[in-house]
Structure 1
Amino acid sequence: MPFGSSSAGSSDLQPGQPSFPVADEAHETAAQGQAAPAQPFVYLGRQPIIDRQGALTAYELLFRGGVHNRAEIEDDKLATAQVMTRTIGQLGVPAVLGRHHGYVNISRELLFDDIVHLLPPGRFVLEVLEHVKFDAAVLERLAQLRRAGYRIAFDDVSALDDNLLRALPYADIVKVDLMQTPRAALPELVAALAAHGKTLIAEKVETGEDFELASSLGCELFQGYFFARPQVLRAPKVRASRLALVRLLALVANDVGIAELERELRSHPGVVVQLLRLVNSSAYAPGRPISSLREAVLAAGTRQIARWAQLLLYASGRDLPWGSDPLVQLAGTRSHFMELAARSLNPHNPDFADSAFMTGIFSLVHVLVGSTPAHTLDGLGLAREISAAVDGNRGELGTLLRIAMAAERGDHDGAQQLAREAGGIFDGLTPMVLAELNLWAGAWFTAYAEG
């Protein structure tokens, strides 16, 4: 993994790439002798990999535990799990990678974990860490992953020893460590690797002299401080209930039907948000917008959902449960209120109820992630009527959302007025019906508050 200890500035951004705030805090309570509060953000490092002409070809994605731009890693698997959840579930693959590939560090333990398949092989390169011993089991696993479409890179190579020679047939890319390789040995090492037909990346390129040497020897791609220090991306932390994830895994393990899986997911809005990002970041993304939770479940498939739940559970740390977050409580109550109202208004149209539930969840997601509705919805692949309701209160779902918002403020007269003005099916939302819906929605979410 490339070293680094200096802060990265916005100058590391490539033209056409979306920008995120570089980690920057006004003060640090820990430095003042106080206990550091739980961080409200998650961080992700990315360092460009370029070609001889200086064109960006990929990013290596790096774990960053906080505002400081350095790798402080105690557990390789946990670090990679957090890189994956932040890339796929919080920042989003399109925002992090654009049209380029992402290199992700893979330890021996993670190499054999099924969650590695959450990384779409068309977007990610698996970078095997330098301390992995290439025994028969590892080589067989590398062969399986390559058959599944993954490209394999070997990290921090500085010598052609027996361990590496045994594994070279299973690699597509080799990263040559310019800092660890003696200059006198570099030509022979590069020539030997090139003779095996591998794509060579010169890493830890610190100076122009390093670049000229590596290029003259035949390296095709380059990475290091001479070009750019790792840039730190930041996104508001979105927590997932550990108990919710355990329940979800148990259901998948018991091979329950789609209906039961969908019912459990409805109880945990935050997991639904991340599930949608998974669906839209993966090779299994549907060719049309998603308009219901059922469609998201079907698009992902139970195996992918299990992998995602495992990853979130491993990377979640000791965050507070969803039931302790008032904003999430509001999203859960609102979504169920809208679902119940939709069923009451149009009992023969389950699709309308599903869309109402999704509208309720996503009506507050922009607050959770600290963005605008339009920006947050972009890339989630939601149906047009849901997006129109969340971003502009348009259509029947938009009207229902406005009624739900008035009801949860305790403005029952306002909710009744909105229903009367809308007319049609909304005439069924009498004061008595609205009061019952509020009661049932609140009771429903309270039942899951411990999750």
Structure 2
Amino acid sequence: MVENPSTRTTQESECVYLGRQPIIERNGALNAYELLFRSSSQNYALVTNDAQATAQVVARTIGGIGVSAALGTHRGYVNINRELLFDDIIHVMSPERFVLEVLETVSFDARLIARIDKLRRAGYAVALDDVCELSDGLLSILNHVDIVKVDFLQTPRPKLAALAEAVRARGKTLIAEKVETQEDFALARQLGFDMFQGYYFARPQVLTARRTDPSRRSLLRMLALLASDAKLTELEAELKHNPEVVVQLLRLVNSSAYGLGRRIASLREAIIAAGTRQIARWAQLLLYADSGDLPWRVDPLVQLAGARSRFMELAASRVRPDDERFVDAAFMTGIFSLVHVVLGVASPAEALDKLGLVSEIRDAIVYGVGPLGALLAIAQAGEEGGAERLTAAAQLTHDPFAMLTPEVLGELSLAAAAWFGVHADE
């Protein structure tokens, strides 16, 4: 019986897919998996946007399939490009369960090295992907990574020994990737490689799970509660009305058990274990990762929401560096200032009234009042007219915003754009 292609397409639209390929130790034991983007049950990837592909791999591993099902007790290597290295969403991944595999297309500079060093201090292991030559650039960054993956298809055989020796001399873990023959495996072992990956051992396996995408309104209601410092009972009650979000949250927390040494079973335990900041990160990832027809981060709405919220957060931290609640509220104001566009309604007031958002943030967005309203006006001025409008907006503000000079605002604007990845490849 021949399968109807339309039936297969319908079935595949109801599922999420994830590829994984084993990474093997010298004694043949399984050490880890590389996690790979798959858009269907077909075992190949059509990646048009690296950041979007990685976001979907992470969301599917943690919230769709589940870390235990995808990785067992092993770690997962995830491809990361430059913009995601600077993104706060990266902290959704537990450093105990995930390795950050920096793509070969990433250009290293002082700013990126500082960011990687910070992530390593936070517990993340960092791997370099698709290394194929012993260059000055490689030697200059070896002290800032933990693992080097050497591409056996691209590296000339006469140069393999010197490359492996230089990496091993600096105490880094060596992985031979794209190993396709017994001869390649024998050579890699002889040269002292620690681990191996490639078709000689196993082709990637495609994992499948039923798609459970939370609705945008559910995510927005949850973000509204988080922004209003809602009581635990309120957040718990809201989550109980949204089983898809609950499933994602439990998988998020159980992905690392947050150092508790035990599995999380109840909703209340999950909320306490994750904390509101981590839940907010996850909700934002789910909300914006598939927010429209355009790929994530190519969508102008996604870029605007990300850069605006980060700018407001940075500006708030300058004005009130010791007021964490105000800084968080500024970030949420940026996110919710565009919620009417996400929901497709006419005005911010109409969208926010349905969410029951805290009045401090709602009034800042609808009426432009209060310190948050002032910060939002500055952010919007910068978006509309660049440095000149930023300067004009800053001159309209009063203490304690006097410290937001045109120079500071320009610096924060660039930092916000870089954080979200707009200028990540400059």
Class of the TM-score when normalised by the shorter of the 2 chains: 0.5 to 0.7
1:90 & 1:82 partners in 2: Cα distance?
10
2:10 & 2:207 partners in 1: Cα distance?
21
One-letter amino acid of the structure 2 residue matched with residue 280 of structure 1: N
Residue number in structure 1 paired with 2:162: 188
One-letter amino acid of the structure 2 residue matched with residue 42 of structure 1: V
Residue number in structure 1 paired with 2:207: 233
Residue number in structure 1 paired with 2:17: 43
Superposed displacement of residue 291, structure 1: 6.5
3-state SS of 2:13 partner: coil
Residue number in structure 1 paired with 2:287: 313
Between stretches 290-299 and 200-209, larger displacement belongs to 290-299
1:70 & 1:203 partners in 2: Cα distance?
17
Superposed displacement of residue 318, structure 1: 5.4
Q: Which of 249, 269, 275 matches 1:275?
A: 249
The aligned runs of 1:170-181 (5 Å cut-off) are 170-181=144-155
3-state SS of 1:284 partner: helix
One-letter amino acid of the structure 1 residue matched with residue 52 of structure 2: L
1:28 & 1:56 partners in 2: Cα distance?
37
Residue number in structure 1 paired with 2:273: 299
Superposed displacement of residue 49, structure 1: 0.4
The answer as to whether partners of 1:285 and 1:300 remain within 8 angstroms in 2 is: no
Matched, 1:59 2:33: yes
Residue number in structure 2 paired with 1:28: 5
Residue number in structure 2 paired with 1:106: 80
2:266 & 2:204 partners in 1: Cα distance?
38
Residue number in structure 2 paired with 1:89: 63
The aligned runs of 1:39-438 (5 Å cut-off) are 39-284=13-258, 286=260, 292-316=266-290
How does the TM-score come out when normalised to structure 1? 0.61
One-letter amino acid of the structure 2 residue matched with residue 28 of structure 1: P
After superposition, give the CA deviation of every residue in 1:350-372 in whole Å (9 maximum; x if it has no partner): xxxxxxxxxxxxxxxxxxxxxxx
Question: Can you give the 5+ residue segments of structure 1 that lack an aligned partner in the other structure?
Answer: 1-24, 320-446
Q: Aligned-residue CA RMSD in angstroms?
A: 2.5
1:264 & 1:118 partners in 2: Cα distance?
22
The count of aligned residue pairs is 294
2:260 & 2:206 partners in 1: Cα distance?
31
3-state SS of 1:234 partner: strand
One-letter amino acid of the structure 1 residue matched with residue 174 of structure 2: L
One-letter amino acid of the structure 2 residue matched with residue 29 of structure 1: S
2:132 & 2:94 partners in 1: Cα distance?
29
How does the TM-score come out when normalised to structure 2? 0.64
After superposition, give the CA deviation of every residue in 1:116-164 in whole Å (9 maximum; x if it has no partner): 1121111111111111111111111111111111111000001133332
1:281 & 1:178 partners in 2: Cα distance?
32
After superposition, give the CA deviation of every residue in 1:399-430 in whole Å (9 maximum; x if it has no partner): xxxxxxxxxxxxxxxxxxxxxxxxxxxxxxxx
1:193 & 1:166 partners in 2: Cα distance?
12
The answer as to whether partners of 1:104 and 1:126 remain within 8 angstroms in 2 is: yes
One-letter amino acid of the structure 2 residue matched with residue 75 of structure 1: N
Question: Can you give the 5+ residue segments of structure 2 that lack an aligned partner in the other structure?
Answer: 294-353, 356-426
The answer as to whether partners of 1:49 and 1:56 remain within 8 angstroms in 2 is: yes
**Is the radius of gyration larger for structure 1 or structure 2?**
1
Residue number in structure 2 paired with 1:410: none
